[in-house]
Amino acid sequence: MNQFCKISAFLPVVLVVSLVASGVSIADDLVYIQAGGLIDVQAGKLRRNQIITIRGDRIESVSDAADVNFEANASIIDLGDSYVLPGLIEMHDHLTGDHRYHGYSGLQFSVPRETLFGVVNARITLLAGFTTVRNVGASGYSDVALRDAINDGEIDGPRLRVSGPALGITGGHCDNNLLPAEFGVSADGIANGPWEVRAKVREVIKYGADLIKFCATGGVLSKGDSVGGQQYTFEEMQALVDEAHMHGRKVAAHAHGEAGIKTAIKAGVDSIEHASLIDAEGIRLAKKNGTYLVMDVYNDTFILEHGASVGMLPESLEKERMIGQLQRDNHKKAFEAGVKMAFGSDGAVYPHGDNGKQFMYMVEYGMKPMQALQAATIRAADLLDWPNDVGAVAPGFYADIIAVETNPLDDVSVLENVSFVMKGGKIYKQ
């Protein structure tokens, strides 16, 4: 077990931390972090020589080092010349999925096994610097179980907002279309018609969903549907969104095609996931309605390079070839038009822990490094309805703090190799 030094203001400030499996709790309630460089995502600037004061699991203050008088018997963590920033937020993940098993190979796993995938992947994702995750779609409420185990301190992982099973039409992207009729298989979230959709929303909320996810169009990795074809009518989407909002839940709509995107926005969804084929009218509607776009512009690379080797169907690879570059081009158009955008990379399509690889593509397609960081911090926190809890290193926020060795504002790819991770005042990586 680690022993943290108790250091006064007059002693050298050096801490070397080795980790135990469940993270390292600092003995004292009061902790100081010395940050040579602090990325202030709220102000959009780099601050030098800052002291972050943490009491319990929250940040008490952030001050210039020259203005701080250290209290005796506090713990001090010196991050030297590292660049410190808020824990990152992933808004589109599937922690109970595994990138090695797609298509028919994924049929072999039970819900309990998927939950165990989630235990492994939650820790990997946390150590990659993502201290908060929105999980959008999981079988059998496996993500609810994962969230609750993390909250109870039984396993390591990010803070989770979870949807449970994603809602969809019979035979649509959110259904299981891989087996013939005699198996009688239908996915957990299938509901058709406005009242059946309302009932399904109530059901997933009953069993623990923090938000509602549904499929407004076809998708890449599903069998037998058009990637851009609309699924659910306006009346069904409107009923779904109205029911969810009545219960205080936000709604995320999987949508690649332009008609489904626009119908979902008009129905009042809070975010469009993927948004690959969004057109000028869809961009205008998203901006007018304040709808967030969550565009997974990294995983096209993984799908086209590795998809065949991990069981993705030939038709899925063909769909990705149709939309991948268009999605990236539309990411740039939407951002330049002023649409709200949050970071989401569709983990489980690619290996968990590689989430940070998306930052380079966000910068290549329209954003500056600071803007990409804001999409993964303050913008994501706003969409989560946690704007005063996560996404910034600021007084009152959770002490969710990461560090990298060099300045991410010069090279955003350094976020692929996070060197320090703290969540809620507890160190998981150093």
Q: What are the residue numbers of the active site? A: 213, 346
Structure tokens at 345: 């990379």
Whether the CB-CB separation of 280 and 270 falls below 8 Å is answered with no
Whether the CB-CB separation of 217 and 145 falls below 8 Å is answered with no
Per-residue H/E/C for the chain: CCCCCCECCCCCCCCCCCCCCCCEECCCCEEEEEEEEEEECCCCEEEEEEEEEEECCEEEEEEEHHHCCCCCCEEEEECCCCEEEECEEEEEECCCCCCCCCHHHHHHCCHHHHHHHHHHHHHHHHHCCEEEEEECCCHHHHHHHHHHHHHCCCCCCCEEEECCCCEECCCCCCCCCCCCHHHCCCCCCECCCHHHHHHHHHHHHHCCCCCEEEECECCCCCCCCCCCCECCCHHHHHHHHHHHHHCCCCEEEEECCHHHHHHHHHHCCCEEEECCCCCHHHHHHHHHHCCEEECCCCHHHHHHHHHHHHCCCHHHHHHHHHHHHHHHHHHHHHHHCCCCECCCCCECCECCCCHHHHHHHHHHCCCCHHHHHHHCCHHHHHHHCCCCCCCCCCCCCECCEEEECCCCCCCHHHHHCCCEEEECCEEEEC
d(CA 200, CA 194): 10
Structure tokens at 355: 């989430």
d(CA 193, CA 130): 37
d(CA 89, CA 85): 12
